[in-house]
């Protein structure tokens, strides 16, 4: 192999390192530092306040509401997206006519940007003129303001997330389903197992490694994706549909409180790290057989 000359190799090394440091490492470290300092204003410069921001965090009632929202969001959307994606994968894996079209239509929501998805669903949910309202009226039911009431806004958002995420997970499950040796199913069939038993006894356990992978991804996404919150509800009404990352965004750029925003960021990073650790510890045990 030809050796690069010295100046060029330094440039090729320094540029990516600089970009990485400036946009990943520096903000991370800066967030950690900021969380120990007060918010600076023109009259009162920023000063070291130790753990005061963290004390605020513990006492923040809005944050409690938002942690509950985020937890509910994760607990509901992850299993729902997994169940739905396994169902869709089974459907498109079966030798039925029109499979290619079905696969495409299941995968389409995943390919669309979240902003577009959220906008489409805004039309579905719109009170009075929206698709769902019209269906309700058609059956003589009272239309609901899905995004406008505190009791339904979070659930409406969850439906959008599941709808969008399931298509991607379906692809993983489809690949895993096609890797299940047909002989195993035949051996079970000869022993007298019906299709439902074969699915629960043979296929589902063999999908476990895929489920671990999907669950970790879904968990990360449940904290990472907030585009639909911004487009559809802006966390409202009364913070009923705000998620943790959205709250950080709002505190930092809405209230311009970068110190408390940094504190929340540190909190979220710790939370995510802890969850990833637990998930790998628990789920990775006895999931790989070969």
Residue closest to 232 by CA, chosen among 142, 114, 137: 114
189 contacts other proteins (rule: CB under 8 A): yes
Stretch that binds other proteins, among 21-29, 39-47, 198-206, 241-249 (CB under 8 A): 198-206
Least Å distance, CB 31 to other proteins, is 43
Nearest CA to 244 out of 216, 272, 218, 211 is that of 272
Q: How many Å apart are CA 148 and CA 233, to the nearest integer? A: 8
- Exposed (0-12), middle (13-18) or buried (19+): which is 194, by Cβ within 10 Å? exposed
Alpha-carbon span 176 to 206, nearest angstrom: 8
Interface residue with other proteins among 5, 41, 47, 183 (CB under 8 A) is 183
Contact region with other proteins (CB under 8 A), list: 24-32, 104-112, 184-192, 213-221: 184-192
Q: Is 273 in the site for other proteins (CB under 8 A)?
A: no
**x/- letters, 225..244, toward other proteins (CB under 8 A):** --------------------
Q: Which is nearer to other proteins, 1 or 190 (CB)?
A: 190
- CB of residue 206 to other proteins, shortest distance in Å: 7
Whole-number minimum distance, CB 152 to other proteins, in Å?
41
| Closer residue to other proteins (CB): 2 or 288 | 288
* Neighbour-count burial for 119-128, b at 16+ CB within 10 Å, e otherwise: eebbebbbee
The reply to whether 195 sits near other proteins by the rule CB under 8 A is no
Choose which of 191, 195, 200, 234 interacts with other proteins (CB under 8 A): 191
Candidate ranges 6-14, 202-210, 225-233, 273-281; the one touching other proteins (CB under 8 A): 202-210
Cβ of residue 214: shortest distance to other proteins, in angstroms?
Answer: 18
Is residue 212 a contact residue for other proteins (CB under 8 A)?
no
Contact 85, 169 (CB under 8 A): yes
Name which of 208 and 272 has its Cβ closer to other proteins.
Answer: 208
Instruction: Check binding of 205 to other proteins (CB under 8 A).
Output: yes
Structure-block tokens of residue 272: 């995510």
For residue 260, the SS3 value is helix
Q: How far lies 194's CA from each of 93, 181, 190, 191, 199, in Å?
A: 18, 17, 10, 9, 9
User: Residue 48: what are its φ and ψ, rounded to 5°?
Assistant: -70, 125
Per-state percent for the chain, helix, strand, coil, to nearest 5: 70, 0, 25
Q: Is 197 in the site for other proteins (CB under 8 A)?
A: yes
List contacts with other proteins (CB under 8 A).
181, 183-184, 186-193, 197, 201-202, 205-206, 208, 289-290
């Amino acid at each position: 192999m030809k050796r690069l000359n010295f100046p060029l190799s330094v440039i090729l090394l320094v540029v990516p390192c600089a970009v990485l440091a400036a946009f990943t490492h520096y903000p991370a470290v800066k967030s950690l530092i900021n969380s120990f300092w007060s918010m600076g204003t023109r009259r009162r410069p920023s000063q070291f306040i130790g753990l005061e921001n963290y004390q605020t965090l513990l006492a923040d009632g809005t944050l409690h509401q938002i942690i509950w929202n985020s937890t509910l969001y994760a607990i509901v959307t992850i299993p729902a997206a997994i169940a739905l994606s396994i169902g869709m994968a089974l459907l498109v894996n079966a030798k039925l006519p029109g499979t290619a079209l079905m696969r495409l239509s299941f995968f389409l929501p995943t390919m669309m940007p979240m902003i577009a998805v959220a906008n489409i669903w805004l039309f579905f949910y719109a009170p009075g003129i929206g698709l769902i309202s019209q269906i309700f009226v058609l059956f003589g039911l009272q239309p609901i303001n899905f995004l406008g009431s505190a009791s339904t806004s979070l659930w409406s958002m969850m439906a959008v997330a599941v709808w969008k995420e399931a298509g991607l997970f379906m692809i993983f499950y489809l690949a895993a389903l096609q890797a299940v040796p047909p002989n195993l199913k035949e051996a079970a069939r000869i022993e007298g197992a019906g299709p439902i038993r074969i699915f629960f006894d043979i296929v589902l356990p063999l999908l476990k490694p895929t489920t671990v992978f999907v669950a970790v991804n879904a968990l990360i996404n449940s904290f990472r994706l907030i585009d639909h919150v911004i487009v559809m509800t802006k966390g409202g009404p009364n913070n009923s549909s705000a998620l943790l990352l959205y709250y950080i965004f709002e505190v930092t750029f809405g209230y311009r409180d970068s110190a408390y925003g940094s504190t929340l960021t540190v909190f979220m990073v710790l939370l995510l790290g802890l969850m990833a650790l637990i998930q790998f510890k628990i789920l990775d045990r006895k999931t790989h057989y070969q």
